[in-house]
Amino acid sequence: MAETGNPGNGATSEAGPLVVLEGVQKHFGSLHVLRDINLNIDRGEVVVVIGPSGGGKSTLCRAINRLETIDEGRILFDGRPLPEEGRALARLRSDVGMVFQSFNLFAHKTIMENVTLGPIKVRGVAREDAEKRALELLDRVGIASQAQKYPAQLSGGQQQRAAIARALAMNPKMILFDEPTSALDPEMVQEVLDVMIELAQEGMTMMVVTHEMGFARRAANRVVFMADGQIVEENTPDEFFTNARTDRAKDFLSKILTH
Ligand SMILES: Nc1ncnc2c1ncn2[C@@H]1O[C@H](COP(=O)(O)OP(=O)(O)O)[C@@H](O)[C@H]1O
Ligand SMILES: [Mg+2]
C-alpha cells in the first residue's frame, strides 16, 4: 500500500501533511459556503468534522476530492495542488475514498461487482486478483457471505460496510466519510462505526463528518467544529466535548446532547 518514498522528480512527498487547505473560499451564488478554511490533515490522522446542518461540511469533503471546485485559496493533496482534470484527477479520486450518507452502491451490481469495479476499470487489476482482494476486504468488514447479493438484499449497515470495502479496494491514501451512519437504523450504527474505528487504529487517514461522539472520542485525533462555512473551533475530542470554548459550539453541543 505504501509508496516508495523517493523524494525526487514528481514523487509523493512523504513528509508534511496529506491534505492542506489554505484560505479556501467557496460560494454557491450569493451563498458563501466555505469562508477562509485553513486546515491540515496529517498522515494517519483522524479528523472528525462536526457542526450544524448547512454549515459546509459536505462541501468541504467534496472540495477535497474535487467534486466541487473552489473560488479562492488552494488545496494540496500529498504535497501537490489538486489536479484539474484528466488522469491526474482520476488518480486523485481513487486516492481519496469516499463513503456518503446514502448508500452509494450500484443497485444493479452485486456486492462483489461493486467492490471490484474500480480496481478492474481504474487500476487495471486482473479480475481474479480483484475478486480475491475483494473477498478479503468483505471478510474484514464482516460481510464476505453477502458477496453475491445485490445491495437491496443487504441491511443498511451491511451496505455501508460494503461501501467501506469498496473504498478500501482502491488502496486509498485517505477516506472521507460524510455522515456514514446518519441514514441507518439505530441498531446498525455501531457495526459501521466499529469498522471505522478499526481502520483508524490501523492508521488510515480519515476525515469523518459525524455527530457520533463515541466514535470521535475513541478514534479521532481532532475535532473540527464548523458552522456557517467557517471553522469555529478545533480541539481534541475530550476537550471539545467537555470544554467547548465558543458559544456557537456550546449551543450546538447542548442540542445534540439532549437527545
Ligand atoms: N450544489 C449546490 N448548489 C447550491 N447550494 C448548495 C449546493 N450544495 C450545498 N449548497 C448549500 O451550501 C450550504 C452548505 O451545504 P453543505 O456543505 O451540504 O452543509 P452541511 O454538509 O454542513 O450540511 C447549504 O446552505 C446548502 O444548501
Ligand atoms: Mg452534509
To test the pocket of ligand 1, the residue of 37, 58, 209, 231 to mutate (highest count of ligand atoms within 8 Å of its CB) is: 58
pLDDT tens readout for residues 140-173? 999 999 999 999 999 999 999 999 999 999 999 9
Confidence of residue 9 (pLDDT cuts 50, 70, 90): very low
Q: Which residue's CA lies nearest to atom 17 of ligand 1?
A: 56
Concatenating the DSSP letter of every residue in 95-135 gives HEEEE-SS--S-TTS-HHHHHHHHHHHTS---HHHHHHHHH
Query: Closest Cα partner for 101 from 25, 174, 179?
Result: 179
pLDDT tens readout for residues 167-208? 999 999 999 999 999 999 999 999 999 999 999 999 999 999
Q: Specify the pTM.
A: 0.92
Ligand 1 atom closest to Cα of residue 59: 17
56 lines ligand 1 (CB under 6 A): yes
Residue 166 domain flag: yes
248 lines ligand 1 (CB under 6 A): no
Ligand 2 centre to CA of 216 (Å) is 17
Task: Give me the residues paired with residue 184 across strands.
Answer: none
Residue 147 domain flag: yes
Cell digits of residue 13: 512527498
Residue 125 domain flag: yes
Concatenating the DSSP letter of every residue in 32-53 gives EEEEEEEEEE-TT-EEEEE--T
Of 4 and 35, the one with more pLDDT = 35
pLDDT tens readout for residues 28-51? 999 999 999 999 999 999 999 999
Residue 168 domain flag: yes
What's the domain count of the chain? 1
Determine the structural domain holding residue 152 and report its residue range: 105-172
Q: Which residues contact 237 (CB under 8 A, 6 or more apart)?
A: 48, 213, 216, 217, 220, 222, 223
pLDDT tens readout for residues 53-86? 999 999 999 999 999 999 999 999 999 999 888 8
Residue 210 domain flag: no
Ligand 1 centre to CA of 31 (Å) is 9
Q: Which amino acid is at 63?
A: A
pLDDT tens readout for residues 104-149? 899 999 999 999 999 999 889 999 999 999 999 999 999 999 999 9
State the Cα–Cα distance between residues 59 and 169, nearest whole angstrom. Answer: 25
Ligand 1 centre to CA of 156 (Å) is 24
